[in-house]
């Protein structure tokens, strides 16, 4: 009985620890890994470069689960905080990242636009894009 409980506990902890989403760049990008803090700064447009390369962050349009997960886990901000942040940024002359209407178009944008960085569900990742962070 104890043995079964232990196996269940291990399986449960593995499933909760595994990532649902990936931050990605194009497969040909020279960037291999970025910290969550650096990704946060890039999507808040506090930083614009990584490893000497100018980056172009792209968001999924609206309030779909991947975007909400990204905002909660990477940006660590809710919608009210983000509205406050981008309102102050408007006065500074900074606009939020570009958006794409669907996950497929986010992926295509990342493949085609030099320096693009975005996020997708793990199951959509293939050899056309490169994972640099999982969350």
Partner 1 sequence: MVWAAEGNYQLGQGFKLADWLTVGGYISTEYKKSDDHEEFVVDDLAFLAYGEFGDSSSFMLELESVDAFEFDFDRHESRTNLPPAIERLYFDHGFSDHISVRVGKQITPIGYWNLQPINVLRETTSNPRYSREMFPKFLTGVDIYGYTTFDDNLTYHIYMQSTGDLDDAYININIDIDKHYGFSANKQFSGGWEAGGSLGRFEKDGDFSTRYLQLNARRVTGAYTFVIEAISSLKKGPGQLADRRSNAAYIQGEYRYKPRHSIISRLEYRDDGNSTNRERIAILGYSFRPVYPVSLKLEYQWHTLSDDNQLQASFSVLF
CB-based contact 112:54 (threshold 8 Å): no
**Nearer to partner 1 (CB atom), residue 13 or residue 51:** 51
* Residue 109 beta carbon to partner 1: minimum distance, rounded to whole angstroms: 7
**Cα 23 from chain centroid?**
4
* Residue 53 beta carbon to partner 1: minimum distance, rounded to whole angstroms: 10
Residues that bind partner 1 (CB under 8 A): 37, 47-49, 52, 54, 59, 61, 80, 83-84, 86-88, 90-91, 93, 95-96, 98-101, 105, 108-109, 112
SS3 124: helix
**Nearer to partner 1 (CB atom), residue 2 or residue 112:** 112
**Nearer to partner 1 (CB atom), residue 72 or residue 90:** 90
Neighbours of 117 (CB within 10 A): 26
* Residue 28 beta carbon to partner 1: minimum distance, rounded to whole angstroms: 17
CA atoms within 13 A on the CB side of 86: 12
* Residue 94 beta carbon to partner 1: minimum distance, rounded to whole angstroms: 8
**Nearer to partner 1 (CB atom), residue 93 or residue 123:** 93
Contacts (Cβ under 8 Å, ≥6 apart) of 2: none
Q: From CA 110, how far away is CA 100, in angstroms rounded?
A: 10
């Amino acid at each position: 009985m104890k043995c079964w409980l232990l196996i269940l506990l291990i399986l449960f902890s593995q499933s909760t620890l595994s990532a649902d989403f990936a931050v990605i760049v194009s497969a040909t990008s020279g960037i291999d890994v970025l910290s969550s803090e650096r990704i946060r700064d890039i999507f808040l447009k506090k930083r614009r470069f990584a490893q000497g390369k100018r980056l172009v962050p792209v968001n999924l349009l609206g309030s779909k689960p991947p975007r909400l997960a990204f905002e909660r886990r990477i940006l660590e901000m809710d919608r009210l905080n983000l509205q406050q942040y981008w309102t102050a940024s408007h006065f500074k002359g900074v606009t939020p990242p570009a958006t794409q209407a669907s996950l497929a178009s986010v992926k295509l944008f990342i493949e085609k636009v030099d320096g693009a960085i975005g996020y997708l569900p793990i199951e959509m990742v293939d050899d056309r894009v490169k994972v640099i962070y999982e969350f």
